[in-house]
Structure 1
């Protein structure tokens, strides 16, 4: 069983649910966390407050919202819930609305779910598995699809991945000079409001690109929150984040690259090429 499916029970999956708006969608996902003993009602409200305070940055891919909040006493164990909506709702994201899938995470700490988020990022980037999830008629079928996360994608999907440019020059590009011609630190931050949800998605996608480029040994990626990012900015080459979080960060003295689809390796690849001029 995948680690992702291990955090998600059939009782925490609702398919083709009708809700009135985005708050209803997040509330429905939170209710499933409550029903399965993962978290209490205050955590559900925290997930809603997170969007109210920080904007719709949790809508990290077309049609997909990843609801979460900071770890708190309202969380009893790390777990997920899965809500597929019968009618899409608007969160206010200019590119990724409307939303048809809401996955909610409740985490006991900021490390226990890292590998599970890596798996979820792979799922959403895999067209075959995503289609199975979109057409699943039972919670059991959802879990079966999630358990196939390590299946190799079809050759056609793999062929669409762009080839890395000048990977042999990684030592020069990533270790010698940063985007602003200062000495590179060999580090990039992926940033979200809480540092443990959407930033992990972006971190995993960026690491896939670095692996493909054979740059993983030259560039370290850290997922963090907005407050920590401001303090760490002077020691990194760049920040990758959403448009909402970029506006919250303001001027931090280093390049800030806005990514619309946190699961799209092509978009992250393009941002990195521009960042390091490769």
Structure 2
């Protein structure tokens, strides 16, 4: 499923972001530019962090922006950005973050397979290190797809 979600148009590497909000906006904009979400979904992803704190930092150095599935998501979708310089999310020993995902779900269940595949990727420390250092999105996608084969 990740092969259908992460593609060159939803992956951007070595992105400049001065803070976690900007990182979330940039990850969300990749989904917006592909017409997978409506603009208010980006705001709702940020509002969730304001309301609940940095729970989106799912592992050291990695964050997954998302919001409740509502009518702001046109299709299940995911984006990924790596940050040129890591940023603080206020997540204690999981900070700083330099690998950021944004997920848009259309309901409570359709994204579960994508999440399981994402966890497979994120548990591979060498793959994560390679992704964070790579500058070619086609190579990153190839590495991810090979891991899931």
Residues 194-233 of structure 1 correspond to what in structure 2 (within 5 A)? none
Q: Which has the higher contact order (CA 8 A, sep 6+)?
A: 2
Unaligned runs of 5+ in 2: none
Distance 2:12 2:136 in 1: 9
Count residues in correspondence: 149
Once residues 130 and 143 of structure 2 are traced to their aligned partners in structure 1, the CA distance between those partners, rounded to angstroms, is: 6
- Distance in 1 between residues matched to 2:131 and 2:116, nearest whole Å: 17
What is the TM-score when the length of structure 1 is the normalising length? 0.52
Larger radius of gyration: 1
**C-alpha distance in structure 1 between counterparts of 2:108 and 2:60, whole Å:** 25
Q: Which residue of 2 aligns with 1:73?
A: 71
C-alpha distance in 2 between matches for 1:93 and 1:136: 25
Is the Cα–Cα contact under 8 Å of residues 119 and 149 in structure 1 kept in the other structure? no
Instruction: Report the RMSD for the aligned CA atoms in angstroms.
Output: 1.2
CA deviation profile, 1:105-130 (whole Å, cap 9, x unmatched): 00111111111111110111112322
Tell me the distance in 2 between the aligned counterparts of 1:96 and 1:5.
Answer: 27
Report the TM-score when normalising by structure 2: 0.95
Do 1:75 and 1:106's aligned partners in 2 also have CA atoms closer than 8 Å?
A: yes
Call closer, same or farther: CA 1:131–1:75 in 2, change over 3 Å. same
1:38 aligns with 2:72: no
Q: What are the ranges of 5 or more consecutive residues in structure 1 without an aligned counterpart?
A: 152-278
